[in-house]
Homo-oligomer: A and B are copies of this chain.
Amino acid sequence: MAWRWPTYASGMSMTYDATGVHDVALRARTASHDLALTTRAVKDEALHAMAASLLEQAPAILAANAADVARAEGNGTSANIIDRLRLTDERLAAMADGLCEVAGLADPVGEVVRGSQLANGLELRQVRVPFGVVAMIYEARPNVTADAAGICLKSGNAVLLRGSSSARSSNAAIVTALRAALESAGLPQDAVQLVPGDSHDSVKALMRARGLVDVLIPRGGAGLIRSVVEESTVPVIETGVGNCHVYVDATADLDQALAIVVNSKTHRTSVCNAAESLLVHADVADEFLPAVIDALGAHGVTIHGDEQFAEYDDVVSATEEDYGTEYLSSDISAAVVADVEEAITHIRRYSSGHTDAILCRDQATIRRFVAAVDSAAVLVNASTRFTDGGEFGFGAEIGISTQKLHARGPMGLPEMTSTKYIVVGDGHVR
């Protein structure tokens, strides 16, 4: 028995898409062997070349994108999604800038995470190494194509990109530009590849490509992420579902609290770190509820509230489902809680473990909340919108992990690596 996990290729009759995935994955593996040994200087040069190539090939990319947009409009796609799909000169320039910024970040590969000399004289080092082959499955926005390629290249990984079929022409044009740049920099073009095939079969084949693909990262809505997590035999990093809470304690500075609640909910509603649920301590409900209902109403937010909230005009009665919902819209669920313990219990039940915030001036209450709430990020007297790789100073972000294994919270370059131990002796035996 060969030890390697049998790939799906050996165990199932292959559709066209599975064959195609198998082929690109094998080419990615070969490219990954070179990439793992590529120095930072060469990778940075390639990143700058990729940025330049995007700008040079702007006419072709924008034409391809126009075709995608026209098709989407013909399909009756919503304006919101068409906006995410659309590329402009400015957005293309931002993609190119993003690649140059990644070039400016430290190379995680080769970093010695820990090291020591053992009692018997063996030298032990734990060193960051690339994963190898990373696959991304993502939705409408074509800028993810360039972002993911840049982050994977810098972290020494070959990447397989499976964007949405609505962006297929845009993604193909972007990848063509990136691959030309890789070649000019002396790196294997197969470091960046699109997954062939438009059907769900190619996604399925990716999810079953254990042994060929090292890590699978889905970026998109809850439905996509759930299906990948449930079906994939390739290790997955779950990203981005955020049912984020803001708890306003009895001791909160209520003016500050009002500003933070409004900012958390309305600064940008379609993102995973937007607040989706508001909890208010009973002792300040009579004072805070009218103010927050007014302020959110002025921003066009619909509040789905419990009995106490629903006594006010314009508040809709919340169902059990509301408390578990990531709206990604101008809606927020809301409830009055007896104390911090009830807030913690509520959050344990409904939070997606992304970001939960407490607004509070009492040190013991803050300490209790921070210790008891088990989310990727726990914020104190700050907007939930701060859970972000850019805000945290990571420089580049591939997504925000909401799982506990490997990486949790915003993932930068170090999170895109594994480690290995190097042990050097001089004839050592046990």
Q: Give the B-binding residues of A (Cβ under 8 A).
A: 1-5, 33, 36-37, 116, 118-119, 122, 124, 126, 129, 131-132, 210, 214-215, 222, 226, 229-230, 233, 235-237, 241, 243, 253, 256, 259-260, 263, 267, 320-321, 323-326, 348, 350-352, 370-372, 374-383, 385-387, 391-393, 403-406, 408-410, 418-430
Contact B235–A233 (Cβ < 8 Å): no
A-B contact pairs, 10 of them (CB 8 A): A3-B350, A4-B350, A5-B229, A116-B393, A118-B391, A379-B423, A380-B422, A381-B427, A386-B423, A392-B421
Contact B118–A392 (Cβ < 8 Å): yes
A1 CA to B222 CA in the complex, in Å? 11
A348 CA to B377 CA in the complex, in Å? 39
Sample of 13 more A-B contacts, CB < 8 Å, known A131-B405, A377-B421: A1-B222, A3-B241, A5-B229, A33-B348, A235-B403, A259-B427, A267-B429, A370-B422, A381-B425, A382-B429, A387-B421, A409-B419, A409-B421
Contact B392–A424 (Cβ < 8 Å): no
Contact A428–B374 (Cβ < 8 Å): no
Contact B404–A405 (Cβ < 8 Å): no
Contact A424–B380 (Cβ < 8 Å): yes
Contact B321–A2 (Cβ < 8 Å): yes
Chain B residues positioned under 8 Å from A375 (CB to CB): 420
Choose from B2, B241, B405 the contact partner of A418 (Cβ within 8 Å).
B405
Contact A377–B408 (Cβ < 8 Å): no
Contact A36–B371 (Cβ < 8 Å): yes
Question: Which of A348, A351, A406 counts the most B-chain CB atoms under 10 A from its CB?
Answer: A406
Choose from B5, B383, B405, B419 the contact partner of A215 (Cβ within 8 Å).
B405
Chain B residues positioned under 8 Å from A405 (CB to CB): 131, 214-215, 235, 237, 405-406, 418
Contact B382–A428 (Cβ < 8 Å): yes
Least Cβ–Cβ distance between A195 and chain B, in angstroms: 20
Given contacts A393-B116, A403-B235, contact A382 B324 (CB under 8 A): no
A157 CA to B100 CA in the complex, in Å? 42
Contact A404–B3 (Cβ < 8 Å): no
Choose from B229, B383, B429 the contact partner of A260 (Cβ within 8 Å).
B429
Chain B residues positioned under 8 Å from A214 (CB to CB): 404-405
Contact A325–B3 (Cβ < 8 Å): yes
Choose from B118, B321, B348 the contact partner of A393 (Cβ within 8 Å).
B118
Chain B residues positioned under 8 Å from A385 (CB to CB): 429-430
Choose from B391, B393, B418, B423 the contact partner of A408 (Cβ within 8 Å).
B418
A323 CA to B3 CA in the complex, in Å? 9
Choose from B119, B132, B226, B378 the contact partner of A420 (Cβ within 8 Å).
B378
Chain B residues positioned under 8 Å from A423 (CB to CB): 377-380, 382, 386-387
A209 CA to B424 CA in the complex, in Å? 42
Choose from B379, B392, B404 the contact partner of A425 (Cβ within 8 Å).
B379
The closest CB in chain B to the CB of A215 belongs to B405
Least Cβ–Cβ distance between A12 and chain B, in angstroms: 13
Chain B residues positioned under 8 Å from A267 (CB to CB): 429-430
Chain B residues positioned under 8 Å from A406 (CB to CB): 405-406
Chain B residues positioned under 8 Å from A215 (CB to CB): 404-405
Chain B residues positioned under 8 Å from A230 (CB to CB): 210, 233
Contact A132–B387 (Cβ < 8 Å): no
Question: Which of A241, A405, A426 counts the most B-chain CB atoms under 10 A from its CB?
Answer: A405
Question: Which of A5, A132, A409, A427 counts the most B-chain CB atoms under 10 A from its CB?
Answer: A427
Least Cβ–Cβ distance between A374 and chain B, in angstroms: 7
The closest CB in chain B to the CB of A388 belongs to B430
Contact B420–A376 (Cβ < 8 Å): yes
A236 CA to B5 CA in the complex, in Å? 15
Chain B residues positioned under 8 Å from A378 (CB to CB): 420-423
Given contacts A37-B371, A372-B33, A418-B405, contact A321 B1 (CB under 8 A): yes
Least Cβ–Cβ distance between A411 and chain B, in angstroms: 12
